[in-house]
A and B are shown apart, each in its own frame.
Chain A
Amino acid sequence: DTGVSQDPRHKITKRGQNVTFRCDPISEHNRLYWYRQTLGQGPEFLTYFQNEAQLEKSRLLSDRFSAERPKGSFSTLEIQRTEQGDSAMYLCASSFTGTLTQETQYFGPGTRLLVL
């Protein structure tokens, strides 16, 4: 399977703990996105990378959240001092931007986080 992969698929943690999620994009995709989806809502944008550069962060991304894409391939999303409100599905997507402005984002299966 050459799609976007995410690990772990499920995470249960206690409030106050730190968690880290990993995303592996489709090979050769230069853009990588993180979204968050809560029950009954569509995905909401958190941040995105072009290669290793983080180019935009949503106001949803508090200072407890940090994302990296150190070598322009996989990415990690860390949440420090988790709160119950962080419980959600965290989605990763990737895309390739060439010379055209047309871009399609392909999504991974997500990591479902439950904070107790």
Chain B
Amino acid sequence: AQSVSQHNHHVILSEAASLELGCNYSYGGTVNLFWYVQYPGQHLQLLLKYFSGDPLVKGIKGFEAEFIKSKFSFNLRKPSVQWSDTAEYFCAVLNTGFQKLVFGTGTRLLVSP
């Protein structure tokens, strides 16, 4: 069965620092990949997604992620974080032909001003 690993459970950064959050999944095949974000007191929101094509995808608020098929990875990056990026970030994978999203355990990001 598919599983998703987010190795960084808590990340603390200062404003303007660069961010990279790891995401690895276990089962290959054709996958759709997602990063969702949950800001404090808000619901899960889509940050970016990959279906096919260019493995470097850009999302909202300056985030991007790179799909590396050979490494089963979909890491999230942002060159310069802001205090408003403080949130919990979830990586999720959907194997085509199956309808359920499989989520990682999430990474809590705290950006200090």
**Contact flags (1/0) for A31-63 with B, using CB distance below 8 Å?**
101010000111111001000000110100000
Please encode chain A, from 81 to 112, with 1 for each CB lying within 8 Å of some chain B CB and 0 for all others. 00000000001010000000111111111100
With a cutoff of 8 Å between Cβ atoms, the chain A residues found around residue B4 in the complex are 42
For residue B92, CB closer than 8 A to chain A, the reply is yes
- Establish whether residues B32 and A102, one from each chain, have CB atoms under 8 Å apart when the complex forms: yes
The reply to whether B32 and A105 form a contact with Cβ atoms under 8 Å apart is no
On chain A, the residues within 8 Å of B90 by CB distance are 42-43
Q: Are A48 and B105 in contact (CB under 8 A)?
A: no
Partner of B100, one of A41, A48, A104, A110: A48
* B103 nearest CB across to chain A (Å): 3
Q: Would A42 and B92 be within 8 Å (CB), given that A31-B99, A48-B99, A55-B99 are in contact?
A: yes
Shortest CB distance A30–B (Å): 12
For B97, the closest partner residue in chain A by CB is A101
Inter-chain contact A103/B100, CB cutoff 8 Å: no
On whether the beta carbons of B99 and A106 are closer than 8 Å, the reply is: no
Q: How many A-B pairs fall under 8 Å by CB?
A: 53
Shortest CB distance B57–A (Å): 13
- In Å, the complex CA distance between A59 and B90 comes to 23
Range, interface on chain B? 20 to 34
Given A31-B99, A48-B100, A109-B43, A40 contacting B49 (CB threshold 8 A): no
Residues of chain B in range 48-72 having any CB-CB distance to chain A below 8 Å? 49, 51-52
Q: Is the CB of A101 within 8 A of B103?
A: no
* B99 / chain A contacts, CB cutoff of 8 Å: 31, 33, 48, 55-56, 103
> A103 with B94: in contact, given A43-B44, A109-B43, A110-B43 (CB under 8 Å)?
yes
Which of B4, B42, B51 has the most A CB atoms < 10 Å from its CB? B51
CA A43 to CA B100, docked complex, whole Å: 11
The complex places the Cα of A102 from the Cα of B94 at a distance, in Å, of: 10
Chain A residue nearest to B34 (CB atoms) is: A104
**B residues engaging A (CB < 8 A)?**
4, 32, 34, 36, 42-46, 49, 51-52, 90, 92, 94, 96, 99-106
Give A residues with C-beta under 8 Å from B: 31, 33, 35, 40-45, 48, 55-56, 58, 91, 93, 101-110
